Structure 1
Amino acid sequence: MDYLEAQRQLGLSPVTSTHRVKLLRTALRWGAATGRLSVSPLEGLRLGVPKSRRIEPPTRAEAARMYRAAAPHVQRVIVLGMAAGPRIGPSELFRLQWTDVDLAAGCMRMPNAAKGAREESRLVPIRDDIMPLLRQWAAEDAAIGCPWVIHWRGQQVHCIGHAWHTARQAAGITRRITPYSLRHAMPTEALEHGADVKAVAEVMGHADPTMLLRVYQHTRFRLRKKAVNAAPGLPGIKAE
């Protein structure tokens, strides 16, 4: 389609372009169904399933650089994104309130996105090394009466796109990393260091652990090198 090619030349990913065409097709079908159009010009259009462009998640070093350059609310997103793997946005992390956080017990009730979860929230243990930060944030927010863990000057946050982009540039990171990449980073690091797959899936809110392995496990170069060197080499093969 000419439209898809034009979108590609604008730099949009195949996933985004296809999604836009599907939205347009739905709108045109509604127009035909309500008599506003005689027929939808896209009726019968079949769209293939585009391959998603997987973004390598931030390393711990990159996340630390961004943390140092970021605004306070983005710092909190980086810390909790890397530590707990929530969905970064209004479906989960931005809905988290201090009433959901039990600092004494070392856990929080992360709101579940509306993706078929049986419960409204899930229990997520808090990493030991970030407990002092959460206590500090809780005290700061209590002083201004703010109920939200992620906020900007006491107001609930719904989007951090501009602040994230600013922090990434200030940190000198030129490759594409999105806030949602933090959700990918958490299982990558956890699984690389021997965490149980089922436990990681439960922390992230996945009912099916195979979803975790299929979508979120990025392998680092070190692990790839370890994989190719795992088996013995061919006997008698050496440089002359």
Structure 2
Amino acid sequence: MDEPTPRELPAGFQEVLDEFAEHLTWQENRSEHTVRAYRGDVDDLMRHLLANGVERLDQVGLADLRGWLAGEQSAGLSAATLQRRSGACRVFFRWARSRGFVVDDPAAALKSPKVPRRLPRTLTRDDAETLMKAVMDAAQLDDTPAAVRNVAILEVLYSSGLRVSELCGLDLSDIDLDRGVLRVLGKGDKERTVPVGVPALRALDAWLARRPEWIGPASRQAVFLGHRGGRLDPRVARRVVHEAMRAIPDAPDIGPHGLRHAMATHLLEGGADLRSVQEMLGHASPATTQIYTHVSGERLRQAFQLAHPRA
């Protein structure tokens, strides 16, 4: 049986959605991206409920929520999207119960679908060396601010494991060249200090010497600039990485997040402890960082099978 055509949300639901979004932003300090995604998920749930005759939050039961997710799965949504939607649903109803919109939380027993764990594609150490040598050679042939900046972008991303948004958000006051560290404002406005290697510090120093050539009214304290003088756009940083990757035959076409993967994997392979890597990456939970131990473990297993006489 076809589902009834969804109609516009009643004003009361819109007000609840607005209040929920404000709660996520100001009380839970969620990112703009998360707030937008969660609001969209709950909005979709609301429309499903209305289309199926549920017009009040206190009428919602666990079966309604499971039915919604089952319909989403049938529509072809990925396991990762379904996991986020069920998470948004639980966060929403937990908040709704605290605000008195519902007496019992219908989402308390709602389970998330399992997302298959995928090993992130990453670079080998040799690939990373080839990449950095290629961009430095290109900068020597093309002595422009853009070429010097691009070397610094790649060196800093690989050395520090910064997210691309964190890289683009760096201010001059965040750099301590003497101590070899960067002050980073990460997810949830959490600040951390990240060490960077000597090659990255040299590349940063070289870029800062050329940065005045691009300074404009919109530059302010931004470390990395676009050619018009404004703060570097994350899309430009991603393009820089993808273009640089073309210099490495048969390497995966990765972006800034791929360099973050490579940094974490190479640190763990080199003997760094998981807790230190977690702090460098700015992960709230060690479980998030453990994916990189699976990368290293997979390589170790392959090496064992190839080399051990009784593998």
TM-score by length of 1: 0.66
> Taking structure 1 as reference, are residues 138 and 180 closer, same or farther at Cα in structure 2, changes over 3 Å only?
same
Q: Does 1:195 align with 2:272?
A: yes
Instruction: Quote the offset at 1:24 in angstroms.
Output: 7.2
Shift of 1:137: 1.6
Separation in structure 1 between the aligned mates of residue 287 and residue 43 of structure 2, nearest angstrom: 35
Q: Find the counterpart in structure 1 of residue 171 from structure 2.
A: 97
Pairwise CA distance, 1:174: 5.7
Alpha-carbon separation, structure 2, partners of 1:185 and 1:139: 28
**Deviation by residue 1:15-44 (Cα, 9 ceiling, x = unmatched):** xxxxxxx997644334467x7x5769x952
Q: What is aligned with 1:237?
A: none
**1:216 is the counterpart of 2:232:** no
Report the Cα distance in structure 1 between the residues aligned to 2:126 and 2:307, rounded to whole angstroms.
27
Query: Identity, % of aligned pairs?
Result: 27
Which amino acid in structure 2 is aligned with residue 166 of structure 1?
E
1:1-240 alignment, distance < 5 Å: 26-31=42-47, 44-46=68-70, 47=82, 48-67=113-132, 68=134, 72=147, 73-88=149-164, 90=165, 92-114=166-188, 120-142=190-212, 144-145=214-215, 146=219, 147-153=221-227, 154-156=229-231, 157-160=233-236, 161-173=238-250, 175-213=252-290, 215-217=291-293, 218-219=295-296, 223-224=300-301
Please report the RMSD computed on the Cα atoms of aligned residues, expressed in angstroms. 3.8
Q: Give the number of the structure with larger relative contact order, counting CA–CA contacts within 8 Å between residues 6 or more apart.
A: 1
Q: Which has the higher helix share?
A: 2
**Separation (CA, whole Å) in 2 of partners of 1:107 and 1:63:** 21
Structure 2, unaligned runs of 5 or more:
1-37, 55-64, 71-81, 83-112, 139-145
Distance 1:138 1:55, change over 3 A: same
Deviation at 1:95, TM superposition (A): 0.6
CA shift, 1:84, in A, is 0.9
Distance 1:208 1:174, change over 3 A: closer
Q: Residue 98 of structure 1 contacts residue 138 of structure 1 at CA under 8 Å; is this kept in 2?
A: no
Alpha-carbon distance, 1:190 to partner: 0.9
CA 197–221 in structure 1, closer or farther in 2 if over 3 Å, else same: closer
Write the letter of the residue equivalent to 2:230. Q
> Structure 1 residues 100 and 172 mapped into 2: Cα distance closer, same or farther (>3 Å)?
same
Cα drift, residue 134 of structure 1: 1.8
Give per-residue Cα distances to partners, 1:24-67, cap 9 Å, x unaligned. Answer: 7644334467x7x5769x95233433325433212233334444
Alpha carbons of structure 1 residues 155 and 27: separation in structure 2 relative to 1, 3 Å: same
| Cα pair 1:86 1:204 within 8 Å, conserved | yes
Counterpart secondary structure, 1:99: helix
Distance 1:52 1:229, change over 3 A: closer
Q: Distance in 1 between matches of 2:262 and 2:157?
A: 8
What TM-score does the superposition give when structure 2 sets the normalisation length?
0.53
In 2: Cα distance, 1:174 partner to 1:185 partner: 12
1:45 is paired with a residue whose SS is helix
Q: Which has the larger radius of gyration?
A: 2
Letter in 2 for 1:105: R
